[in-house]
Structure formats: structure tokens, C-alpha cells
Structure 1
Amino acid sequence: MDSPVPPRPTEPRPRRRDRHGRGMRGPVAPPQVPLAASRSESFRDLVQDSVERLERRWPQLADVDFLVLDVPGAPEESVPLGSSAPADKERPARIVVYRRPVEIRTKNRDERAMLVHEVVVEQVAELLGLAPESVDPRYGQE
């Protein structure tokens, strides 16, 4: 008598439905939708928008490096929102906007965009040795 051959173990099939009969879930939002952008990415976009606005009026800003850092490096009496450094032999002029101090001082995206633009204008004015109103005539009016 031949003994019966045990059934071959089958590989589990990939699940196409969950236990409630619904299909597998996808991402909440596609990557091109702002929901998928992180806070730091959207903050960088605000800085970039502000820089592009100013570069139309001040083409020499194309030679300036604009950076976004989370927080200032060394603790000071007051927390700066931004800083600027003139060009030297090793590197071009640069302007830094600090993300967390700006976010803490604003309640929503519109306020954040206005404050970011003010910080960028102030730092550009300091770098160029001008008044902020001459860098952007709408400074302080928005």
C-alpha cells in the first residue's frame, strides 16, 4: 500500500483585500499635493518664493547663498530669525533663515510667509547696506 502523499505547502497569496473586503490602502495624498510636503520642505518653499520675488528687483542676489537651518547654532540673549554673512575668499555671501524660531512666532501659513519675507528682506538689506524699505518697497505694509 502506498502511503498518501501529503499536500505540498502552498505559498500564501498576496492579499488583495483586507478583512473587511476593501482594497489595499494607498497613500493619503499623492506626492505633488502640498499635504505630502514636510514642514521643512514647505518652509524652504516660502524662503525660495521670497528670494525669487527679490531677485527680480536685485539681480546680484543670484550670487548669494540662501540657507534654511532649524535653529541658530550658539545660544544668544534673543533668538534670531535670520542672519547674514558677507562674501569672503572661500565662500559667497550667505543669508540664513532659522525655521523653528519663525514657526514658533506664527500661527498659520500666511503669517509664516509674511514673516519669512520680512526676515529675508531684512537680511538682504543688511548685506547690501540698505534700508529694508529700499530693498522691498512693500516691506512692513503687508
Structure 2
Amino acid sequence: MDSATPRVRRRDRHGRGMRGPVAPPQVPLSASRADSFRDLVLDSVERLERHWPQLADVEFMVMEVPPTVSGEPVVPLGGSTPAEKNEPARVVVYRRPVEIRAKNRDERALLVHEVVVEQVADLLGLSPESVDPRYGQD
């Protein structure tokens, strides 16, 4: 080899073969935190839709953080907006504030469900206890 020809570098430098993913896609390890959080919201919505079929028209969303509002002392965990002319009613759950307040997956799932129940209750004009009788008991 002369100095004019560049050396070809190989990714398989140590003879172990090409590296693949750490875990196959069907294993929960490969799900991102955002995907896991979205699944918690969807599970909560499915539980409520069994008793409240009108929620099929509501759009449920997950956002990372709430929009900043100056002078607001408390960071909201969720929000809701009623339906307008061409827009469906929306419920938003803010992922980062919920994750910060929950210590583990079980607490996170419980908090997500409580936020969804509170926002649905606000949309329907009901108390959270009437939307989900188990609200606040866990």
C-alpha cells in the first residue's frame, strides 16, 4: 500500500460481526419514554370510553411541556379545550411535568389516569368522581 491510497475502514474492526439493536422491537426495552407515556394515556382513554362513548369525538394528545404563561405559579399536568366550529374537543396531557411528579411506572400510570379523568370531567361539566368512581381512591 502506498501513502496515496486511503485506508478502508471497516465497522467490524474486531471480527465480532455487525452490531444490531440492543433488543428486538417487540421487547418493551426498545420503546421510548414518549411511546410508553403515550400508551399510558391511550390505556386510560380506553378505560373511560367504555363508560363514556361520547369521548370517541374527543382528540387526546400528549405534549412534552405546557406553553409558558407568565405569572402562572403552577405548572399544569394537562389541559382541555371544548369543541369549536371545525375543531374537535381536545384533551392534552403534558408528559414532562407528569414524569417529574411520578417516581415509578405505577405512579405515572395512576397520575396519567387522574389527569385524563380531570380533563374529561372538565369537558363534560361533571365531577371527576362521576367520570370515574375510582378517582382519587388509589
TM-score range, shorter-chain basis?
0.7 to 0.9
Residue of 106, 110, 115 corresponding to 1:110: 106
| TM-aligned CA deviation for residue 128 of structure 1 | 0.4
Q: Which runs of 5+ in 2 are unaligned?
A: none
Aligned to 2:81: 85
Q: Is 2:138 the counterpart of 1:119?
A: no
Aligned to 2:42: 48
Aligned to 2:126: 130
Distance 1:59 1:81 in 2: 24
| TM-aligned CA deviation for residue 34 of structure 1 | 1.1
Q: Is 2:93 the counterpart of 1:97?
A: yes
Distance 1:82 1:107 in 2: 18
Q: Which amino acid aligns with 1:22?
A: R
SS in 1 for 2:50: helix
User: What are the superposed Cα offsets for residues 35-93 of structure 1, whole Å, 9 maximum, x if unpaired?
Assistant: 11111111111000000000001000000000101111123221000001110102011
Distance 2:13 2:124 in 1: 61
Q: Which amino acid aligns with 1:40?
A: A
Q: How many pairs are equivalent?
A: 131
| TM-aligned CA deviation for residue 138 of structure 1 | 0.8
Moved over 3 A (4+): none
The answer to whether the Cα contact below 8 Å between 1:67 and 1:95 also exists between their aligned partners in 2 is yes
Q: Which runs of 5+ in 1 are unaligned?
A: 1-8
User: TM-score with structure 2 length normalisation?
Assistant: 0.87
Identity of aligned residues (%): 76
SS in 1 for 2:61: strand
The answer to whether the Cα contact below 8 Å between 1:18 and 1:24 also exists between their aligned partners in 2 is no
Aligned to 1:3: none
Distance 2:87 2:25 in 1: 34
Distance 2:77 2:103 in 1: 16
Aligned to 1:141: 137
